[in-house]
């Protein structure tokens, strides 16, 4: 397996200062140095900002909403499930916003997520820790990245 700066392919390249998956598409996931260079050049030209490069981990997408300030309320964890027909299990811009796209039709939010009691507790504790560490209040959403095989909720 090839590596880039201690990261293993496949990698995902995305704009570092955007929201709502802007700049993320199935083409964001790359499997080679040449594809990574092309994607980074595309993002820099179109979004004019630094590019974030991470390892792409194929797995479950869980998110947790937390409400409150002094007293926090953790809502049930939700999951984004992906159809097998998608080229990548990825929450991309079209998957969120383009109702006629294959990505939108293949991306399904499920709440509550189907989790065991231990996994649910661990995810809620990690989410609360992140919110407290960052000093968030009122409304927070914590996205839990896909887990590697054998860890947390896989």
Contact at 8 Å (CB) between 115 and 123?
Answer: yes
The mean pLDDT of 24-46, rounded to a whole number, is 96
pLDDT digits (tens, 9 = 90+) for 8-29: 999 999 999 999 999 999 999 9
Q: How confident is the model at residue 145 (pLDDT cuts 50, 70, 90)?
A: confident
pLDDT of residue 86: 92
What's the rounded Cα separation, in Å, for the pair 2 and 13? Answer: 16
The mean pLDDT of 99-109, rounded to a whole number, is 95
What's the rounded Cα separation, in Å, for the pair 112 and 119? Answer: 13
Whole-model pTM: value is 0.80
pLDDT of residue 72: 95
Q: How confident is the model at residue 31 (pLDDT cuts 50, 70, 90)?
A: very high
Q: Is the pLDDT score of 153 beyond 90?
A: no
pLDDT of residue 95: 93
What are the tokens at 2? 């090839």
Contact at 8 Å (CB) between 62 and 130?
Answer: no
């Amino acid at each position: 397996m090839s590596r880039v700066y201690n990261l293993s392919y496949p990698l995902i390249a995305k704009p570092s200062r955007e929201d709502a998956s802007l700049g993320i598409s199935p083409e964001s996931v790359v499997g080679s140095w040449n594809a990574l260079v092309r994607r980074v050049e595309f993002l820099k030209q179109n979004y004019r900002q630094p590019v974030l490069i991470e390892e792409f981990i194929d797995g479950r997408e869980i998110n947790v909403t937390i409400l409150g300030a002094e007293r926090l309320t953790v809502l049930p964890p939700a999951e984004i499930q992906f159809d097998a027909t998608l080229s990548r299990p990825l929450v991309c811009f079209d998957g969120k916003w383009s109702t006629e796209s294959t990505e939108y039709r293949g991306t399904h939010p499920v709440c509550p997520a189907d989790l065991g009691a231990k996994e649910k507790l661990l995810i809620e504790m990690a989410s609360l820790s992140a919110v407290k560490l960052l000093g968030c209040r009122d409304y927070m959403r914590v996205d839990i990245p896909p887990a590697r095989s054998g860890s947390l909720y896989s």
